[in-house]
């Protein structure tokens, strides 16, 4: 343990509510590390920018206006864990705002392979860029990066967590909630809705971040549908209890709860995380897949979502059902991520006033 390890270990002993203060500056969001940082005011601001960006970008004049906003800034995408959507949507979001981007997608071509610590790599990246977006298999890498730059260096650049191990994926939650919010626009919004999450809830960072984010909405209920071995972890459940967000656990079959849901959020088995060889194969998940024949059980006003990639948990025959929202959800990722970056860099007023 070096001195930074010791200091970070001390920091991590603090309750989450205190830790997340380290990721604010002058009362504003600076880094985006955990869903718990987002309150309704920030969420509404980001969604307002998202809506406006979608409109403005329809014209060439509008796109050029947006591209001018952050054309003096550079972003670095440090993505050493596989990614298609998150990487591309962040890259597109940066380019939409005029930011130049650089990337490391393979640790074996960086100095990490020569034995450089993550801390030193981070400080190096921060020398050249104004924003660092991180996807990493380590649960604490993004949090440590933000902590390190904010408290141990004189070049604190914002850090965005693009997926940290099996812990959190806050920008996915942001785009998921935006998708829900838009889908329920004519049904009184997300307040009062029942969100069913299904699949590998134990190791799925998307469903964890989504659960935390839902605490910002009124009278929402969650149903967790998964075999016992893949059920939601205790830390998220006790968070929901503390925030009086009711949840129900279903361990037998998706079919038992499908008709209750306003949104069905499917996820794949996360066998890249904490897996002893073939562990997941021992669990019978056959009753937790969505088949075309199940669709008659799903409310006509409900939406089907998935963070993707999918394996076979949603049959492709469902893609043509108007309730399938996953392709739109994917595209919403680019808009909401651009809006988040605009919020962090404080150019939201310009966008809203365009």
**How many residues bind to ligand NCD according to rule CB under 6 A?**
12
Nearer to ligand NCD among residue 19 and residue 205 (C-beta)? 205
Taking CB under 6 A as the criterion, the residue among 307, 318, 335, 351 binding ligand NCD is 307
Among 136, 202, 203, 205, binds ligand NCD (CB under 6 A): 205
Contact present, 133 and 157 (Cβ < 8 Å): no
Among positions 158, 163, 170, 227, the unique one binding ligand NCD when judged by CB under 6 A? 163
Outline where DSSP puts E strands in the chain: 24-25, 28-29, 74-79, 100-104, 131-136, 159-164, 194-198, 221-225, 247-250, 263-266, 303-305
Q: According to the binding rule CB under 6 A, does residue 268 interact with ligand NCD?
A: yes
In degrees and rounded to multiples of 5, residue 36 shows phi and psi of -65, -15
Are the C-beta atoms of residues 284 and 227 closer than 8 Å to each other? yes
- Mask: binding to ligand NCD, 313-352, rule CB under 6 A, as x and -? ----------------------------------------
For ligand NCD, the closer CB: 163 or 170: 163
Angle at 333 between CA 328 and CA 334, to 5 degrees: 105
Reply yes or no on whether 306 is catalytic: no
Question: Contact between 35 and ligand NCD (CB under 6 A)?
Answer: no
Binding flags for ligand NCD, 70-99, as an x/- string (CB under 6 A)? ---------------xx-------------
The answer to whether the beta carbons of residues 176 and 137 sit under 8 Å apart is no
Q: Could you confirm whether 86 is annotated as catalytic?
A: yes
Tokens representing 309 are: 């990639």
Does position 171 interact with ligand NCD (CB under 6 A)? The reply is no
CA atoms of 17 and 37, how far apart (whole Å): 8
With tokens 């299904």, the residue in question is 198
Query: Which entry of 19, 34, 118, 169 is annotated as an active-site residue?
Result: 169
> Which residues have C-beta within 8 Å of that of residue 92, sequence separation ≥ 6?
334, 338
> Which position among 19, 118, 144, 169 is part of the footprint of ligand NCD (CB under 6 A)?
169
Q: For tokens 């964890």, what's the residue?
A: 208
Strand residues in 8-127 grouped as ranges (E)? 24-25, 28-29, 74-79, 100-104
Give strand pairing partners of 303: 263
Site string for ligand NCD, 132-151 (x = CB under 6 A): --------------------
Q: Stretches 189-197, 235-243, 303-311, 319-327: which one binds ligand NCD (CB under 6 A)?
A: 303-311
User: Which residues are tagged catalytic?
Assistant: 85-86, 114, 135, 169
Q: Which residues bind ligand NCD (CB under 6 A)?
A: 85-86, 163, 169, 172, 205-206, 267-268, 307-309
């Amino acid at each position: 343990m070096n001195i930074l390890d010791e200091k970070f270990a001390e920091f991590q002993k603090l309750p989450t509510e205190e830790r997340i203060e380290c990721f604010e500056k002058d009362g504003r969001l600076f880094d985006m590390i955990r869903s718990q940082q987002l309150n309704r005011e920030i969420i509404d601001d980001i969604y307002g920018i998202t809506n406006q960006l979608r409109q403005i970008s329809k014209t060439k004049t509008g796109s050029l206006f947006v591209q001018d906003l952050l054309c003096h800034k550079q972003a670095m995408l440090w993505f050493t864990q596989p990614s298609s959507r998150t990487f591309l949507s962040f890259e597109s979001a940066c380019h939409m705002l005029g930011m130049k981007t650089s990337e490391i997608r393979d640790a074996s071509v960086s100095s990490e392979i020569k034995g450089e610590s993550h801390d030193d790599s981070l400080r190096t990246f921060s020398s050249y860029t104004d924003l660092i977006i991180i996807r990493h298999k380590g649960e604490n890498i993004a949090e440590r990066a933000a902590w390190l730059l904010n408290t141990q260096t004189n070049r604190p650049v914002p850090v965005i967590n693009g997926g940290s191990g099996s812990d959190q994926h806050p920008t996915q939650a942001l785009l998921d909630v935006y998708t829900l919010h838009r889908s329920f626009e004519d049904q009184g919004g997300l307040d009062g809705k029942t969100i069913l999450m299904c699949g590998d809830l134990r190791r799925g960072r998307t469903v964890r971040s989504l659960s935390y984010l839902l605490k910002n909405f009124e009278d929402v209920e969650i149903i967790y549908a998964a075999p016992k071995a893949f059920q939601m972890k205790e830390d998220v459940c006790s968070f929901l209890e503390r925030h009086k967000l009711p949840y129900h656990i279903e361990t037998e079959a998706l079919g038992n709860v499908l008709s209750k849901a306003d949104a069905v959020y499917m996820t794949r088995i996360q066998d890249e995380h904490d897996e002893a060889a073939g562990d997941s194969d021992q669990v019978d998940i056959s009753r937790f897949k969505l088949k075309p024949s199940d669709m008659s059980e799903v409310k006509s006003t409900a939406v089907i979502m998935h963070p993707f990639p999918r394996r076979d948990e949603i049959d492709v025959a469902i893609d043509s059902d108007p309730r399938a929202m996953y392709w739109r959800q994917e595209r919403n990722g680019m808009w909401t991520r651009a809006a988040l970056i605009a919020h962090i860099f404080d150019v939201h007023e310009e966008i809203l006033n365009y």
